[in-house]
Amino acid sequence: MSKVLVTGGGGFLGSHLVARLEAAGHDVFVPRRRDYDLTHFGDTERLYADAEPELVFHLAAEVGGIGANRANPGRYWYANLMMGAHVLELSRVNAVRKTVVVGTVCAYPKFTPVPFKEDDLWNGYPEETNAPYGVAKKAILVGAQAYREQYELDAIFLLPANLYGPRDNFDLETSHVIPALIRKMTDATGEVVLWGDGSPTREFLYVDDAAEGLLLAAERYDGAEPVNLGTGVETSIRQLAELIGELVWDTTMPNGQPRRQLDASRAEQLFGFRAGTPLRDGLEKTIAWYRDHSRQHARA
């Protein structure tokens, strides 16, 4: 059993990771933002004093879809940069045995050759609508590597594909594409209109698979290089939408990054991770959870 701190443990991916850690018998500390604002060094310092962690998973982030990224570029850059820097510094100060930092596929250059390989991470600028968030996360990778070199801090950096699954964020102002599509199509009384033309591609990783990848990396990987977590399957937004329902495209609005697909071979080679949930199966589980959750709220 270890004392484990999971920042963002009350969030989407964090809640699934915490459930797995607790089931394995670990003593898990999940901070709430109302009690600890990780953009403030003093709050982060107090958190480490309260949690006394041996292992840290840094999942906390401020992020949203294209609309939210366009509306909050300064906030997303600042908040994600500060949180990551404070976590690395306090892990160093408190001699944490291992720190697992979760990055973002948004950090890759806009026109990265597909599939995205970790070695391509610095070969260009991210897609403009999410660049502040992506650049902030890349800066945390640099920090993790620098702390490893100077202070021997065992900090690893993982880059998951777009996540989806039960307990995702279904707020239409801040959600990503799958929960937004599910909510729009499930709740619609008329036609559903989406931005762009549906041609961009994404890679979607089921949240339980991602949580398993984090645990495997924490147990088996101790390197400085970033590692992708994904399925290796590229799906267009139009194909995705057709799995969920019918809609109309507004081609006057931005598409976002043209293509995304990760080369996930490094994760399998280094710590044995391979995603096991096909997209159709994961969508069925996610839609069922959303419908059940919506009915519960309606009854309440």
| Antiparallel, parallel or unpaired: β 204-206 and 162-164 | parallel
Whether 164 is a known active-site residue: answer no
Which member of 36, 133, 147, 206 is catalytic?
Answer: 133
**CA angle in degrees (0–180, nearest 5) for 152-154-156:** 135
Residues 101/87, Cβ–Cβ less than 8 Å? yes
Return the sign of the alpha-carbon dihedral for residues 92, 98, 99, 105: positive
First-to-last C-alpha distance (Å) of the chain: 38
Question: Whole-angstrom Cα distance, residue 62 to residue 29?
Answer: 20
SS3 track for 189-243: CCCCEEECCCCCEECEEEHHHHHHHHHHHHHHCCCCCCEEECCCCCEEHHHHHHH
Longest dimension (CA), the chain: 58
Angle between helical axes of 237-244 and 177-187 (0-180°, round to 10)? 40
> What are the structure tokens assigned to 279, written together?
């997209």
Residues ≥6 apart with Cβ < 8 Å to 34: none
Q: Give the catalytic positions in this structure.
A: 133
